[in-house]
Amino acid sequence: MDALAPVPLNDGHTLPALGFGTWRVSGEDAAEQVRSALGAGYRLIDTAASYGNEAEVGRAVATSGVPREEVLVTSKLRGADQGYDAALRGFERSLGALGLDRLDLYLIHWPLPARDLYVDSWRALVRLREEGVVRSVGVSNFTAAHLDRLVAETGVTPAVNQIELHPGFVQEEMRAANAARGVVTQSWGPLGRGKGLLETAEVRAVAAAHGVSPARAVLRWHHQLGVVPLPKSADPRRRRENLDIGGFVLTGEEMAVLGTLPQRRLGGDPDTHEE
């Protein structure tokens, strides 16, 4: 397995080039999957308050046998905890549930523009970073306009913007917007959330050309775009395979083919999503 270089952030820190997602995984399944992922070599674990599995993720990190300093744990502020004081309280609940003394990356999960609290929430995250209880701070599902408002009103640019991104929803404009602002793009749902992406003829052909699984081909596509994907899998073998994307390179033509599949959003629209 060829090691992938870490991805530099605008705050001087780095992220692993690929992480493990825990959306819609709960209870002991979440703990087992995270322990297994860490054993396979993942060092970036992504959770959120709204996933309801922070306690299990934290327990898995603590019992994995992997030194805490080698693991980067991400969580996200839920909508009910938006606002300055509420965000500080929400963070404390997440940290307590995880059983950690600090978070490596903390994100605002959705902008929820109708509430108009994301700037106040961002000020709270910046304070947490300044206090040293969070290493890096960022956002999730933010548009370019949302990012620009944060910077204009606080002077602080997010390190990360985690967005829905896969060959079925390439987000070219948003990737460019993040890059122009020095923000690293993370990808949630990188394998298309089981909606048939990995079964398409184009993905299968690219994978076959390199003797890899369709998932590995798609994750390599993300990597070559400079995106940090966060795949999830309940299968231990696939978890190991998904991490191994360093031994082959997609051609420019293959990248183009995967980037021109029919496009559709599978999740919420950041301009209208509320919770």
In 3D space, the residue among 204, 202, 210, 212 whose CA is nearest the CA of residue 244 turns out to be 212
Query: Within a 10 A sphere around the Cβ of 182, how many other Cβ atoms?
Result: 13
Locate 91 and state its tokens.
Answer: 């963070």
Q: How far is Cα 2 from Cα 36, in angstroms, rounded to an integer?
A: 20
Hey, is 208 helix, strand or coil? helix
- Render the burial of 102-131: b for 16+ CB within 10 Å, e for the rest: ebbbbbbbbbbbeeebbbbbbbbbbbbbee
* Helices and strands in the chain: count of H runs, count of E runs: 10, 10
Q: How far is Cα 89 from Cα 74, in angstroms, rounded to an integer?
A: 17
The reply to whether 51 belongs to the active site is: yes
Report the run of H or E that residue 161 belongs to, with start and end.
Answer: strand 160-164
Distances (CA, A) of 172 to 6, 139, 169: 22, 18, 9
Catalytic residue among 42, 51, 106, 118: 51
In 3D space, the residue among 240, 244, 242 whose CA is nearest the CA of residue 36 turns out to be 240
Locate 198 and state its tokens.
Answer: 């990995």
Q: What is the DSSP letter of 101?
A: S
Write out the catalytic residue numbers. Answer: 51
